[in-house]
Amino acid sequence: MKFNDFPIGIFDSGLGGLTVLKEIRKILPFEDLIYFGDTARVPYGNKSKETIIKYSSEILGFLTGIGVKIVVVACNTSSSLALEYLKDKADVPVFGVIEPGAKKAVRVSSGGNIAVIGTSATIKSRAYSAAIYKEIASLESDKSRLFGAAFKITEKACPLFVPLVEEGFADEEITKGVINHYLSSLFTEKPSCLVLGCTHYPILKDSISAQIGKNTEIIDSGVETAGAVKDYLERNGMLKTGTKKGCESFFVSDDVEKFKELGGKFLGRPIENVVLAEGIK
């Protein structure tokens, strides 16, 4: 098999990365996709950096062992704490979800306030702030765009969002109450944009948008990451050959049936080809 025809590997701590897979599928319909959800050890957001690196490294080894041409770390916690380690270790390109979202935030905010919500580990890492300031610095190299001092970044941990989504409570009243609890402090900041700094959060996008207000643009890092992946494959001549619709395979570390049930809600379609991965639990 030609290297171009190898699949794209995608992984997350559980179900959330399916939102990234969904966006990749939209714009790369011919690519084969392999997804790994670490359902036995979800959530990652309350675990140490050392543990997250260990888990992420194991999954990277699993995917590259199957044979993939790139790996997308569709988990903000892993992207914030393990991405550089994975890039150094892997023999294929590795993409995270933080940098694409940060770049979009800077582009749309035009010097206004930026809000970021994510897991406790992602927020504690300050990875989004670092990525946003890095993008600002790159723009300020153009002397006509010295606007960095106008930016204010507010980051907020929302640790209950992931388990609520994973348990299928996305549309329940209790979840709307939790959203209000976490986001009410952001209202006074009047952010020009809000970055969904966890791949589970797009499932809550409508409810979050309703509470944060129509003047705040919601940025889905999954959408931006899919665009970055497509751009990379095109620029490096790595797109799959032919026009046959791409296939999808799913691996999990626990509870195949629950993944099928909830994963179908994430994708808006049934998931069938799910396999319990050996050696990761």
For residues 33 and 249, the answer to whether their CB atoms sit within 8 Å is: yes
Annotation says 198 is catalytic: yes
How far is the C-alpha of 71 from the C-alpha of 226, rounded, in Å?
A: 12
- Burial state string for 228-260 with b = 16 or more CB within 10 A and e = fewer than 16: bbbeebeeeebebeeeeebebebbbbbbeebbb
How far is the C-alpha of 229 from the C-alpha of 95, rounded, in Å?
A: 8
Query: Can you give the C-alpha Rg of the chain in angstroms?
Result: 18
Phi-psi group of 217: left, alpha or beta (phi > 0 → left; psi -120 to 50 → alpha; rest → beta)? beta
The structure tokens listed for 19 are: 């939102």
- 3-state SS, residue 43: coil
Q: For 266-274, which contacts have Cβ atoms below 8 Å and span 24 or more sequence positions? A: 266/15, 266/16, 266/18, 266/19, 266/22, 266/203, 267/18, 267/21, 267/22, 268/22, 273/247, 273/248, 273/249, 274/250
Q: Which of 158, 193, 198, 247 is catalytic?
A: 198
Q: Which of 75, 158, 193, 247 is catalytic?
A: 75
Catalytic residue set: 75, 198
